Amino acid sequence: MTKYDKKWNLQYEKLVEFKRKNGHCLVPQAYKEDKTLGLWARTQQVFHRKNKMRQNQKDLLNVLGFVWSVIDINELQARTEARTKHNKKWANTVWNMQYAKLVEFKRNNGHCIVTRGYKEDKPLGRWVHAQRESRTENTIRCYQKDL
| pLDDT tens digits along 53-83 | 999 999 999 988 888 876 645 565 666 677 7
Total-model pTM: 0.49
Calpha distance 9→40 (Å, rounded): 11
Phi and psi, residue 41, nearest 5°: -60, -45
CA torsion, points 147, 143, 83, 80, in degrees to nearest 10?
Answer: -150
Which residue type does 119 have? K
**Distance of alpha carbon 51 from its chain centroid, rounded?**
24
User: What are 105-145's pLDDT values in tens digits?
Assistant: 888 899 989 998 889 999 899 988 888 888 777 766 655 55
